[in-house]
Amino acid sequence: MTDERDNVQVFGVEHLTSSLKKVVERSFLRVRVRGELRGLKVHESSGHMYGSLREGSSVLDVVCWRSRRGRLKVVPEEGMEVIATGRVTVYGGRSRYQLDVEDMELAGEGAILKMLHERRVRLEGEGLFLAERKRSLPLCPEVVGLVTSFGSAAMHDIVKAVGLRMGIHILVWPSLMQGLGSVGEVVSGLEGFNGLEEGGAIPRPDVIIVARGGGSLEDLLPFSDEAILRAVAASEIPVVSAIGHESDDCLLDDVADVRAATPTAAAVLVVPLRKVLEERVGIYGERLRSCVWEKYESLRRDEEEKGERMMREVRGLWERKRVRCEVLRVMVPRDHVRVKEGDLREKLWRLKLTGSHHGERKLFEEWVWRLSRFFPDGGKEERRFLAGVEGLKRGVTGVWEGGERSLKVWSRILENLDERSVLRRGFVIVRGVEGGVVTDSEGAKRERDLRLEFFDGEVLAGVQEGREQEEEGM
């Protein structure tokens, strides 16, 4: 009986693996596989990307060499549903097959919109879209930074619009605006402009515009990349998003400080018209002049009120002092003050005579010396006697000084009350014939003659105006 195993061909492992490799690679020279990207990882040294495509419970390993990564239509991201184009290869060392990726695209607009929605929700939860973190654009920037493709239509539109409105310096950071390398170059432009120093050789922009023309959803996908969005959120300089046309949408519009419908609209938002700016400056100037004038008027009124209050206080003080002098003049008769002054002067003369007379002082000292001889040296009686003598000296001196002070006070009072001191300054007392004081012009007109009292005598004067009126009446 023949064993069936004798009819089965025996393969070596290497032979079988090689045979399978040939069959698989010849059968699937170029395929397009749809699935969800998982486990993506880029090798640091080689730059090759490894991962897998999954659908349900099935998994297909994928590899994309560094030379082809830069030419992919989309930037691969974890969880992205894509259609990968390439050829199936077999790796005999692990008995595994994999897809050698040559190109990659998103699996329809539905998948793209789903991915963008999930990213929007996640970033919104982080606060990247909050209005509170958005900055205002400068009123009139001196330098505008432009991140765009050099020589593109967007660049020419912005330069033309800015030139028509006002002469503003524009710095262009050339960058790819589509494809895999665009994300890194746009991020470099944003970080480069923010890295410029104030007052350096290259002026630091006051505002940054990220601009490109319209395109498909896939073309604008880099401007929804997290790297660009986070670079915009971290920018210290306000950023204007000018991506595509008004109907185009990307997440950069939500993160940027201002969204412009088109690149030309971005230039209009950033740079004002010279005429509008001049009108605005004129309005601000009028407001400033009005505020300054109102402030001046307010200060002038305050100073006038302070001056009036001060004058009222001075007049009140003067009136109180005048009344006080009048009261003193009434209460203290002039003759009494003069008598008091004479008494004080006599007392002062006596005190001075007693304190300065040579003979009296010598006699006084001789008495002190003689009396001191009757006391033992250092005795208690001598100390008591000498203390009494010193007390007597102090008493005499105090009486003399007090009298002198009192005399000065009464002298000042008398001088203030004496009307002759006022007359010496040029004032005149006008009296009528009967001796009454005339205080106004009507009273003078009623008098036929007047007596003018000066400090050194009196003079008679006639009233000319009063006489002429009487003659006219006759």
**Cα 196 from Cα 47, distance rounded (Å):** 31
Per-residue pLDDT, 72 = 82
Query: DSSP 3-state assignment of 53?
Result: strand
Contact between 235 and 269 under an 8 Å Cβ cutoff? The reply is no
Q: How far, in Å, CA of 119 to CA of 333, rounded?
A: 107
Provide φ and ψ at 150, rounded to 5°.
-65, 130
Task: Check whether 363 has a pLDDT greater than 60.
Answer: no
Q: What is the 3-state secondary structure (H, E, C) of 21-47?
A: HHHHHHHCCCEEEEEEEEEEEECCCCC
Residue 374 has pLDDT above 80, yes or no: no
> ∠239-241-247 over CA atoms, to 5°?
165
CA triplet 308, 310, 311: central angle to 5 degrees? 65
CATH number of this structure's domain 140-272: 3.40.50.261
pLDDT tens readout for residues 164-192: 777 788 999 999 888 767 888 999 999 99
User: d(Cα 222, Cα 148) in Å, to the nearest integer?
Assistant: 13
For the segment 372-386, the average pLDDT, to the nearest whole number, is 52
* pLDDT tens sequence across 391-441: 555 555 555 566 566 666 666 666 665 666 666 766 777 777 776 777 777
Give the chain's mean pLDDT: 77
Predicted local distance difference test score (pLDDT) of residue 282: 80
Q: Does domain 10-106 have CATH number 3.40.50.10490?
A: no
Residue 428, SS3 per DSSP: coil
pLDDT given for residue 474 in this prediction: 43
Q: Tell how strand 239-243 and strand 457-462 pair up.
A: unpaired
- pLDDT greater than 60 at residue 364: no
> Which sign does the torsion angle of CA 273, 274, 277, 278 carry?
negative
450 φψ region: left (φ > 0), alpha (ψ -120 to 50), beta (else): beta
Tokens of 72: 């992919």
Residue 375 has pLDDT above 60, yes or no: no
Question: How much is the pTM?
Answer: 0.48
Q: How far apart are CA 151 and CA 147, in angstroms?
A: 12
> Identical fold at 10-106 and 140-272?
no
Q: Is 243 helix (H, G, I), strand (E, B) or coil?
A: strand
Is the separation of the CB atoms in 198 and 240 below 8 Å? Answer: no
- Say if residue 471's pLDDT is above 50: no
Domain ranges of the chain: 10-106, 140-272, 334-417, 429-473
Single-letter residue type at 211: A
pLDDT score of 316 more than 80: no
